[in-house]
A and B are shown apart, each in its own frame.
Chain A
Amino acid sequence: MKWLLYGVLGVLGALAIAILGDLAGGDWGRFSGGLGNLYVFFTESMWPPDWSVLEARSYPPCESSIELFCSVGYISMVETLKIAFVSTILGFFGAILLSPLAARNLQSAWISIPIRILLSAIRSLPSLIWAIIFVIVIGFGPISGVLAMTFYTIGYLGKLQYETFEGMNSGALEAGRAMGLSSTSITANIVIPENSNHLLSQLIFMFEYNVRHGTVIGIVGAGGVGYYINNYLKFLQYDKVFALLILIFVVVIIIDLISFMARSFVNEQGDVRRPTWMNLLLRSFKDDSEAKASE
């Protein structure tokens, strides 16, 4: 049985290489020559990174005593974070309105299937395409980026949410129905509170995802650090592009770490029982009141 599995994997691997050769038109030399090109491009155009992106811009004049706060790198990265934050929150509210309607255990097929199709349609366009659409409609700038990522967030988060709702314990839903609650009431009072940990975990994950994607959508003019990357690419300032890429890498790593830590509070993985977010809040209030009482 084990050898059958390895055999199937071997056949699939060979098939993938054959198709790759077909796509390359049989010219395997392109792969070996390409690495040399990359080395030349990297050493001559990108290295060393131009850290002037972290120095104050010449115009508009810098009013802050800290030069970094007036730099292209800082301003654009903060704009990317703002776009990611606003679009994640707005997208979350959009998704939480739609996802209970898409869950098959909460609604009839007449409602859930059209809503699922709507969510799939929103999700089928990558955020980059949404950004192009909103740049055409609204014009260049961060608002187009916010709207583009909000739409994508609704589609993506909506799917995660309705799948979570469908996986919940049916006993709680039946108890709600047995109490004569309406479906709105069941959603507000049972479904969302029972799944709050999952919803928060997904929200944090989506913020992290949007920060990463916020760097891309700027390329079509929808604001953020990608906008500046695109400008530098046009003027062939690859050393500045490289500096910004390193900056993005560092910020994304930091956000990843924070997100991982934040999600560990609301996730229950394996046998490790971590405190729920509600417990954390209650405990912090309790600790405060106990501290005051002891004073």
Chain B
Amino acid sequence: MALLDVRKLSFSWPGRDVLHEIDFKVEQNQLVSVLGVNGAGKTTLLKCINRILSYTSGEVKLQSNDMAKLPLINVARHIAYVPQSVGTNFPMNVFDVVLLGRRPHLNWFVGEADRQKVSESLHYLNLKDFAFRRYDQLSGGERQRVVLAKALAQDPDLYLLDEPTSDLDLKNQIIIMEKLQALVKDSDRACSALVAIHDIDMAARFSDKILLLHEGVIHAFGTPLEVLTPENIAKVFGVEAEIVNNSSLMRIIIKGAMRPENEE
């Protein structure tokens, strides 16, 4: 059974269609990347699934629960959303930021189990030593790990991540994606991740499936080998690419931007 089932989801701003009849499924313990150019609707898709934005038509089901019918607090118990970057003017320490992830599960007070969950999340992402450092004084890579720890503490069935590697150096990009992959694969229960990302190489390397969005509709959906073809890349991104695939690693070599035929 699919963990996430999105059927004919459409969304529009006044006077502009952003998503049109999006239809796809995410299986259990899978990492799915959403690729597309700026403005293709990647972030909007994540926000619609999470109900930060109300979709105009369609259906989103998570483990057979219709998301539209659940109160927001229940949605938050099932889905963790990590926005592109969240700064704060408030001097919060890392432990408190991660503890915010327990908010949907709290009644009135923070219990021992909640603190335990926060400790486990910090431990998992190698953030133990940062627990009482100020969040606003961390580097970009450290902050990204903290917000991922917050999502982990939320104990969700589905992780939605919006460009989690956009501000990071190469090493931190790989660390974050490896942690995310391990989180989804090693989980002892049904749990998946949907990641909006710009880096095609990173998507090819870590994703089980790729959803290629183009002008608000799905251009292709499948395994990286099926989706990342030179034709699809040329059509969606407007660049010439060569795919190098050996047994262990798939690499996309970008040769250059394609120019319109009439341009010299």
Query: Which residues of A does B touch, CB under 8 Å?
Result: 169, 171-172, 174-175, 177-182, 193-197, 276, 278-279, 282
Contact = CB atoms under 8 A, between A and B. Distances in A.
15 contacts: A171-B83, A172-B88, A174-B47, A178-B52, A178-B79, A178-B81, A179-B154, A180-B73, A180-B75, A181-B72, A181-B73, A181-B103, A193-B89, A194-B88, A196-B89
B86 interface: yes
Contacts of B71: 180
Q: Which of A169, A174, A279 has the most CB of B within 10 A?
A: A174
Contact of A278 (B72, B81, B90): B90
Given A179-B101, A195-B89, A276-B89, 13 more contacts: A169-B87, A171-B84, A172-B88, A174-B47, A174-B81, A175-B83, A179-B76, A180-B103, A180-B104, A181-B73, A181-B103, A182-B72, A194-B89
Contacts of A181: 72-73, 103
A192 B185 CA distance: 40
Contact of B89 (A175, A178, A197): A197
Interface residues of B, number: 28
A276 B134 CA distance: 14
Nearest to A278: B91
A259 B254 CA distance: 58
B25 interface: no
A179 B104 contact: yes
A193 B73 CA distance: 22
Nearest to B87: A169
Contacts of B103: 179-181
B30 interface: no
Interface string B68-100: 000111111101110111111111000000001
B50 interface: yes
B90 A194 contact: yes
Contacts of A182: 72
Given A179-B104, A180-B75, A174 B90 contact: no
A282 B90 CA distance: 12
A191 B261 CA distance: 51
Contacts of B72: 177, 180-182
B91 A174 contact: no
Nearest to A175: B86
A179 B88 contact: no
Given A171-B85, A171-B86, A172-B86, A177 B52 contact: yes
B90 A180 contact: no
Contacts of B86: 169, 171-172, 175
A283 B71 CA distance: 41
A230 B135 CA distance: 57
A194 B87 CA distance: 10
Contacts of A282: 91
B231 to A, nearest CB: 35
B77 A180 contact: yes
A175 B71 CA distance: 16
